[in-house]
Structure 1
Amino acid sequence: MGTDMAAPGQPGCTSYDAIVIGAGIQGSFAAYHLAQRRRDTLLLEQFFLPHSRGSSHGQSRITRSAYPEEHYAHMMPHSFRLWQQLEDEAGILLYSLGPDAVLDAVTLAQRFPGLRPCPGEVALWDSSGGVLLADRALRAVQDAFRRRGGTVRDGEKVLRIDPGAVITVTTAAGLYRAPRLIIAAGAWTNAVVAPLGLRLPLQPLRIDVCYWREKEPGSGGAVTPCFMAMGLPYAPHGIYGLPALEYPGLVKVCYHHGSPTDPEERDRTPPGSPHPHIALLSNFISSYLPGLEPQPAVLESCLYTNTPDGDFILDQHPKYSNIIIGAGFSGHGFKLAPVVGQLLCQLSLGEEPSHCMAPFAISRFPGVLRAAL
């Protein structure tokens, strides 16, 4: 859709009601919510879809209601409702959930024989916890966006953004204009916003995504719940795991942290120890999941984009109020993407946000506004 505003002899420039940069799960949901509100929306992606270069690929993510931060705990019921709406619209299963209870070590081991907790340890069983089928969910929201008239253009890297009452976005393939812009570019966010005079405290991290094989095929070692192990002295950022989905018989167990990286060079082998957290995970596997081999069978990569406090950035550009930024999802944003997309949409339309936005303000970080390049 869109309206061609080119004058004769000039490069084509198509106009929209809104442009979203970044077709990961956050940007895709923002575009979907704009299209729901009948805004003619363009969703731009620098890589050809589908791709595994960012933070939204893979088959599985953990979802849960249990959060130590009150603002996320309040957002999760809303997010579940929006996931259900998308699932109903798409007509396919997008997530599966497990019942709430506190389980001591003995009860936990009886219920899940593959887990061997230490005496005295307890687990909170979150009945809303489970698995989001990530690849399927991303395709579903993008398909729903297209059905509502939205336009997706992939393989178009943004080269320039000219702010104003009407914003012009120049890509490798064209020029686009809109009165509102949402930037949800993941690990590439600072590269996109730096020419707009903004430097956000975002740290891209390369995450080792590890899959561990059963010692005895069919022994049940791969039948584990989603879990998050917190408070381990050798793993201060926590360890999480999901049952076998991507690869039959291989359980996904990862450290919730990684190594600083340039997103353009994520897959280049770094000097020194290329996978510094494998030994940490092997120690955990040997202690808590003894039915699994203590060395990973498959090793893949993903990107986190972390803020210093682990909270998202969902806010207007400090100088250009019609440019909205969603960034810094810090490895826990996928489950909240439906409500994050709605909040970004509401900010771009000048609507009252559905949730308190104070935890996500850019102003909590001093010195981010600089002279435009």
Structure 2
Amino acid sequence: MEGQVFDVIVIGAGVMGLWTGLHLARRGKKTLLIEQFPVPHSRGSSHGQSRIYRLAYPEKHQTLMTKASYPFWKMLERESSEVLMKGFPLLRITEDPNDQIIEECLRSMQQSECEETKTERLTGEEINKRYPGVRFSPNCQGLLDHYGLILLADRCNRAVLGLYQNSGGILIDAAPIVHIEPGRIIKVTDAHQRTYCSQNLVICGGPWAGKLLSKLNYQLPLQPIKIPVIYYRIKGCSPARFSFLGNCAMFGEIFSLPELEYPGMIKFGPHYGPEIDPEQRDSLNMEPIIDCVSCFVRDHFTYLDPTPAIIENCMYTVTPDSICILDTHPVHRNISFGCGFSGAGYKIAPVVGQILADLAMDIPAPPDVRQFMSASRFTQSSIIMKQPQVCTTDDKGTNKDAKVRFRVPPSGQEKPHSRCGQEFPQKRRRRNLASKTETSDKTETEEKRK
């Protein structure tokens, strides 16, 4: 392997790196995919049995990318001869009657030419009536996205890797990268002192992307955070099956997936967590956040036992505006990268891989990508920095962030009803980007009229 010069090396065999490698290999490029851990593994952000696919985003560009990814997932299912998706609608709610998130999602889906018959707007009363055992305030607003699916993530990863290797792509795993030497021919050295050469490099490092880019003297505002994934047992008969995403004043943003990987259990998790070094993911105490999610389950999903049955972990890599970065290095133009997907990247991986493959072949990214996902946006004064998605803890797991306060009762005492936490961080809204999209649409319409 050493001594060969590849067309492209891709660092990171998570879902982004896998799709990037597949697109490149199918274009006839001599491609090497390098992964630091043995494949498969559960140390990054792409593992697990299930991920939500939805079109209900407030940002038009996110809805469009998700919609454009669907044919690739269908292709993967067809060519691998495996079931990789299951259809479940997504229920998105907000407890704030003045929140515009539902309206923004509907507008985004309409502008993306989604079928109106596949969306339903619901009140809190209608939600409670439709889903027995679900309990939300009558003032709650809801949207049912019938485009919703569950992607069977581990199966998907395995299928993409299989197609990549069948297309001539090469994988080297258990090979952490320790050095990158840029140049016309890029040299990448792993921890075993093996050096690989290529004309182009794509970095899909997930939580390690910031560290990899720093080897190239390039700093981006990327923060890995730890997310607990918690399963709760169903009491009695199985309820209606749907995915869930809620913006809750008391509990922050919570997601849920229906009974699937573990019979008789439903999966929940928060869209926030403590800052971490990905090398020390397991060193933090997650009990305060887990207790918060359990309080949410107890208050709003009465058909579940709010005692955690299984706890797993994942990592997000968040940016200041919760939008990913797809770009090339400002100095070394034959090095490109995709990072900072902020917990919303898995479903769009096929299109992300296509864009990164284009960048590696010196094909410009689409206008929306250059407008919303360029790294240069973090140097622009127009960016609106929203409330952090992270919460900081000390080495004992105690929360230190003044904006994220946990109030957990002493062991043995009953948890206070609906009071397990205060001021949890909401997922950051990108209203500035939504308004840019509207302005862009208006300009395009005016140009067509001319």
How high is the TM-score relative to the length of structure 1?
A: 0.90
1:294 corresponds, among 299, 303, 306, to 306
Correspondence for 1:234 among 237, 242, 250: 250
CA contact (8 A) 1:212 1:250 kept: yes
Distance 1:200 1:366, change over 3 A: same
Deviations 1:128-182 (A, max 9, x none): 1121110011111111100100001100111111100110111134211111000
CA distance in 2, matches of 1:239, 1:320: 40
Correspondence 1:38 to 2:28: yes
Letter in 1 for 2:152: L
Counterpart residue number, 1:93: 83
Moved more, 351-360 or 247-256: 351-360
Name the residue aligned to 2:179: 160
Query: Which range is displaced more, 40-49 or 245-254?
Result: 245-254
- 8 Å Cα contact 2:227-2:313 kept in structure 1: yes
Task: Please state whether the residue corresponding to 2:4 is helix, strand or coil.
Answer: strand
Residue 136 of structure 2 corresponds to residue 117 of structure 1: yes
Shift in Å at residue 355 of structure 1? Answer: 5.3
Q: Partner residue of 1:362?
A: 375
Q: What is the letter of the counterpart of residue 77 of structure 2? A: E
Q: Is the 8 A contact 1:114 1:220 kept in 2?
A: no
Distance (Å, rounded) in 1 between the aligned partners of 2:183 and 2:124 = 59
Q: Distance in 2 between matches of 1:254 and 1:76?
A: 21
Q: Measure the CA separation in 2 of the matches of 1:308 and 1:51.
A: 28
Q: Judge conservation of contact 2:125–2:137 (CA < 8 Å) in 1.
A: no
Q: d(CA) in 2 for partners of 1:353 and 1:82?
A: 18
Out of 263, 267, 270, which is 1:255 matched to?
270
- Equivalent position to 1:180, from 180, 197, 200: 200
Distance 1:257 1:308 in 2: 13
Note closer, same or farther for the CA distance 1:114–1:38 as it changes in structure 2 (3 Å cut). farther
Q: Decide which of 143, 155, 165 is 1:146's aligned counterpart.
A: 165
8 Å CA contact retained: 1:112, 1:224? no
Q: CA deviation at 1:113?
A: 2.2
Q: 1:292 is matched by which residue type in structure 2?
A: L
Please give the TM-score of this superposition, normalised by the length of structure 2.
0.75
Q: 1:324 aligns with which of 317, 336, 345?
A: 336
Aligned to 2:149: 130
2:235 to 181, 203, 215: 215
Deviation at 1:247, TM superposition (A): 1.2
Instruction: Give secondary structure in 2 for the equivalent of 1:196.
Output: coil
How far residue 364 of structure 1 moved from its aligned partner, in angstroms, is 1.5
Tell me the CA shift for residue 296 of structure 1: 1.0
Give 1:51 deviation, angstroms.
0.2
Once the two structures are TM-superposed, the CA of residue 109 in structure 1 deviates from its matched residue by: 3.2
Query: Which ranges in structure 2 are unaligned for 5 or more consecutive residues?
Result: 89-117, 381-450
Distance 2:131 2:165 in 1: 42
1:279 CA displacement: 2.7
Q: Distance in 2 between matches of 1:210 and 1:157?
A: 30
**Residues 1:47 and 2:37 are matched in the alignment:** yes
Counterpart for residue 8 of structure 2 = 18
Aligned mates of 2:36, 2:56 — CA distance in 1: 34
Name the structure 2 match of 1:7: none
**Alignment coverage as a number of residue pairs:** 349
Q: Which runs of 4+ in 1 moved over 4 A?
A: none
The verdict on how the C-alpha distance between 1:286 and 1:197 changes in structure 2, with shifts beyond 3 A counting, is same
CA distance in 1, matches of 2:278, 2:256: 24
Kept in 2: contact 1:30–1:340 (CA 8 A) = yes
Is 1:69 equivalent to 2:59 in the alignment?
A: yes
Query: Does 1:246 pair with 2:261?
Result: yes
Following superposition, the deviation at residue 308 of structure 1 comes to 0.7
- 1:343 maps onto 2:346 in alignment: no
Unaligned runs of 5+ in 1: 5-11, 368-373
What is residue 189 of structure 1 aligned with on the other side?
A: 209
Q: Which amino acid aligns with 1:122?
A: Q
* Match of residue 103, structure 1, among 98, 106, 122: 122
Partner SS, residue 13 of structure 1: coil
State the alpha-carbon separation in 2 of the partners of residues 92 and 147 from structure 1: 16
- Separation in structure 1 between the aligned mates of residue 367 and residue 51 of structure 2, nearest angstrom: 23
Q: Deviations over 1:237-287 (max 9, x none)?
A: x111001222111100111111111101101244xxx32212321221122
Query: Are the aligned partners of 1:208 and 1:275 in contact in 2 as well (CA < 8 Å)?
Result: no
Q: Please tell me whether the aligned partners of residues 251 and 296 of structure 2 are also in contact (alpha carbons under 8 angstroms).
A: no
Q: Distance in 2 between matches of 1:48 and 1:300?
A: 19
Per the alignment, residue 204 of structure 1 pairs with 224
In the alignment, the residues of structure 1 paired with residue 298 and residue 251 of structure 2 have an alpha-carbon distance, to the nearest angstrom, of 14
Q: 1:87 to 1:354 in 2, by over 3 A?
A: farther
**Structure 2 Cα separation of the partners of residues 211 and 290 of structure 1:** 15
Q: Does residue 237 of structure 2 align to residue 225 of structure 1?
A: no
Quick check: 1:312 aligned with 2:327? Answer: no
Q: Which amino acid aligns with 2:260?
A: L
- Residue aligning to 2:92: none
Question: For 2:56 and 2:142, how far apart are their aligned partners in 1?
Answer: 12
CA RMSD after TM alignment = 1.6
How far apart, in 2, do the equivalents of 1:239 and 1:224 lie? 17
- Distance in 1, matches of 2:130 and 2:378, equals 45
Q: Secondary structure at the match of 2:354?
A: helix
Q: C-alpha distance in 2, partners of 1:235/1:33?
A: 40
Give, in whole Å, the separation in 2 of the partners of 1:314 and 1:94.
26
